């Protein structure tokens, strides 16, 4: 198993790479290159065969797929092989009447429900008590923007 994910462009910030099992919160300005960096992190992990999920709050899933394909990845194969998946919060939260991505693995919650935070907490408690299924372990999870307020879903309904 890959123990470190290295990105030459971030070597000055994270020398030696990102160790498996760690979590990082990146603060950035709206006009920063975080989106492009997040895609590069995901692409590098996928090139190394690391199971990767990309959680999109700010972009359509097809935009994510197209951007990763431009980085030379065969997303169709990676998704079919269960190596890559998209967690689509954007489509559900935007309220644009678009069909959201199917929920695959991980936590499956309705973001439009007023009880979202309680449901999420209950799901986390369940995983702590029962354990995380083996198939859900070892994934790299990348968010495009975790600062999006959950309440947006209720306002746009």
For the chain, give every domain's residue range. Answer: 4-155
CA quadruple 66, 61, 139, 121: dihedral, nearest 10:
160
- In contact, 22 and 30? CB cutoff 8 Å: no
Q: Residue 45 in contact with residue 53, Cβ under 8 Å?
A: no
Beta bridge mates, 18: 5
In the predicted model, what is the mean pLDDT of the chain? 78
Maximum average pLDDT range among 8-17, 63-72, 87-96: 63-72
Among 48, 54, 68, 51, which Cα is nearest to 4's?
48
Residue 14 DSSP label: S
- In this prediction, residue 100 carries a pLDDT of 66
Q: Are strands 84-88 and 140-143 parallel, antiparallel or unpaired?
A: unpaired
Confidence band of 2 (pLDDT split at 50, 70, 90): low
Q: What pLDDT was estimated at residue 69?
A: 96
Q: What is the pLDDT of residue 139?
A: 84
> Is the backbone of residue 137 left (phi > 0), alpha (psi -120 to 50) or beta?
beta
User: Is 156 a residue whose pLDDT tops 50?
Assistant: no
Which residue stretches of 81-156 are H helix?
A: 90-94, 116-130, 152-155
Q: Which of 80, 14, 81 is nearest to 41 (CA)?
A: 14
What pLDDT is stored for residue 134 in this prediction?
A: 81
Of residues 125 and 84, more confidently modeled: 84
Q: How many whole angstroms separate alpha carbon 121 and alpha carbon 116?
A: 8
Q: Is 21:57 a contact under the CB 8 Å cutoff?
A: no
The model's pLDDT over 62-82, given as tens digits with 9 standing for 90+, comes to: 999 999 999 999 999 999 999
């Amino acid at each position: 198993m890959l123990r470190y994910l290295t990105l030459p462009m971030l070597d000055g910030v994270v020398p030696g790479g990102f160790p498996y099992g760690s979590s990082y919160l990146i603060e950035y300005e709206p006009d920063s290159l975080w989106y492009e960096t997040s895609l590069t992190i995901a692409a590098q992990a996928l090139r190394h065969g690391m199971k990767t999920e990309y959680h999109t709050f700010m972009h359509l899933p097809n935009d994510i797929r197209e951007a990763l394909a431009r980085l030379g990845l065969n997303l169709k194969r990676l998704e079919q092989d269960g190596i890559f998946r998209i967690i689509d919060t954007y489509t559900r939260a935007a309220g644009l009447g678009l069909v959201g991505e199917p929920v695959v693995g991980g936590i499956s919650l309705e973001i439009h429900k007023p009880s979202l935070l309680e449901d999420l907490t209950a799901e986390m408690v369940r995983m702590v008590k029962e354990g995380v299924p083996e198939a859900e372990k070892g994934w790299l999870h990348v968010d495009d923007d975790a600062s999006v307020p959950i309440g947006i879903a209720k306002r746009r309904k």
